[in-house]
Amino acid sequence: MELLRDADIDPSPLAGKRVAILGYGNQGRAQSLNLHDSGIDVVVGLRGGSGSANEAEAAGLRIALLDEAVGSADVVMMLAPDEIQGALYREIEPQLRQGAALGFSHGLSVRFGLVAPRADLDVFLVAPKGPGTALRSLYQAGKGMIGLWAVAQDATGDARGIALAYGRAIGCARAGLIASTFAEEAEADLFNEQAVVWGGVPELLIAGFDTLVAGGVAPEVALLECVGELKLIADLIDERGIAGMREVISNTAELGAMLGGTRIVDAGVRARMAEVLAEVRAGRFAEALQREEASGYQRLETAREQARATLLEQTFRRLKDLGG
Ligand SMILES: NC(=O)c1ccc[n+]([C@@H]2O[C@H](COP(=O)([O-])OP(=O)(O)OC[C@H]3O[C@@H](n4cnc5c(N)ncnc54)[C@H](OP(=O)(O)O)[C@@H]3O)[C@@H](O)[C@H]2O)c1
């Protein structure tokens, strides 16, 4: 594995170039501010009537409508939501300069064909492995967030240099930039979201809470056990790895984890994980995401409402209100 840091990367491919950041949301805000603070000429491209315009201007950034920002830029970064990137690309394609670079922070829209970039463009990926809020706060603290980089199309011969200089300018190379591909980044990210950290873990917490409550345990106690301890184990794993975490917990917890962990996450779970990975690779999730956008996000809205109404959430809010 190749991991590049600031000292390994030539910043000059971005020198004198203008970068247009399309979207001023989670990643757009962090990346434009980090680029600006790294001395890069940045313009934030927004749709007409954007609610983000005032905030971006107040932060000292130049803003422009999408067409104007794209037409003036050497590098265009697609930082609007993934599911609208196909429509957004079709809208801006006529304004993209010949030989410009088109960047992404997630491989999804190129890997699954939502965006089919013109042949004259360089197409690169710089995917910070965490939220924009942390990308910005780490940068401001003189640190960085690890990221993946890749090139899908090298029309000018400069795509690699631009990708690395971009990753350096947003601070990722302070921690490390790892070479990947659009397919690897997209598939691994979508798999994890469904099967592991964002899909699997919360459902495990909910199932544990429900089981304890059904067994007569007070909701507050069930919540402290099944949800409250997650941050403790996350911090320990972050600092020491999984084996190191196990070494610093009590023998009681360690034996319980050993006997119970593989009983819960058994061969059936692993088989369903493999199914999820195969479905992701076949493009089924990318299709579902586009259907969700087309329906006005109906399933997401319903799921959010249902989640807010559960006993677990009511207990969580009650404990928070009590300062717990
Ligand atoms: N969220 C993360 O932490 C994270 C982490 C790693 C990678 N990524 C990747 O980064 C990219 C951006 O994700 P995000 O979460 O930062 O997005 P986001 O916060 O949802 O993006 C919101 C921004 O997109 C703009 N936007 C929405 N629809 C638009 C449209 N139809 N035309 C033009 N602009 C539109 C919004 O404009 P208005 O201001 O007008 O509403 C807003 O400025 C994605 O590829 C994502 O996978 C995200």
Q: What is the pLDDT of residues 263-281, one digit of tens each?
A: 999 999 999 999 999 999 9
Whether 324 shows a pLDDT value over 80: the answer reads: no
Helix (H, G, I), strand (E, B) or coil at 179: strand
For 126-136, what is the mean pLDDT?
Answer: 97
Whether 151 shows a pLDDT value over 80: the answer reads: yes
For ligand 1, atom 18, which residue shows the shortest CA distance? 25
Which pLDDT score, from 0 to 100, does residue 323 have?
84
**What does the DSSP assignment read for 76-140?**
EEE-S-GGGHHHHHHHHGGGSPTT-EEEESSSHHHHTTS----TTSEEEEEEESS-HHHHHHHHH
Which pLDDT score, from 0 to 100, does residue 1 have?
85
pLDDT > 70 in the chain, percent: 100
For 247-271, what is the mean pLDDT?
Answer: 97
Whether 72 shows a pLDDT value over 80: the answer reads: yes
Q: What is the pLDDT of residues 167-193, one digit of tens each?
A: 999 999 999 999 999 999 999 999 999
The residues facing 21 across adjacent strands are 44, 77
Judge whether 277 and 187 are in contact, CB under 8 Å: yes
Write the burial class of residue 163 (CB in 10 Å: 0-12 exposed, 13-18 middle, 19+ buried).
buried
For ligand 1, atom 36, which residue shows the shortest CA distance? 23
Catalytic residues: 106
Tokens of 127: 């995917």
Judge whether 68 and 20 are in contact, CB under 8 Å: no
Q: What is the pLDDT of residues 1-29, one digit of tens each?
A: 889 999 999 999 999 999 999 999 999 99
**How remote is the CA of residue 82 from the centroid of ligand 1, in Å?**
7
Q: What is the pLDDT of residues 39-63, one digit of tens each?
A: 999 999 999 999 999 999 999 999 9
Judge whether 276 and 195 are in contact, CB under 8 Å: yes
Judge whether 13 and 101 are in contact, CB under 8 Å: no
With a Cβ cut-off of 6 Å, ligand 1 is lined by: 23-28, 46-47, 50-52, 79-82, 84, 88, 105-106, 127-128, 131-132
This prediction has a pTM of 0.95
Confidence of residue 205 (pLDDT cuts 50, 70, 90): very high
Mutate to test the pocket of ligand 1, among 21, 50, 61, 79 (most ligand atoms within 8 A of CB): 79
Write the burial class of residue 281 (CB in 10 Å: 0-12 exposed, 13-18 middle, 19+ buried).
middle
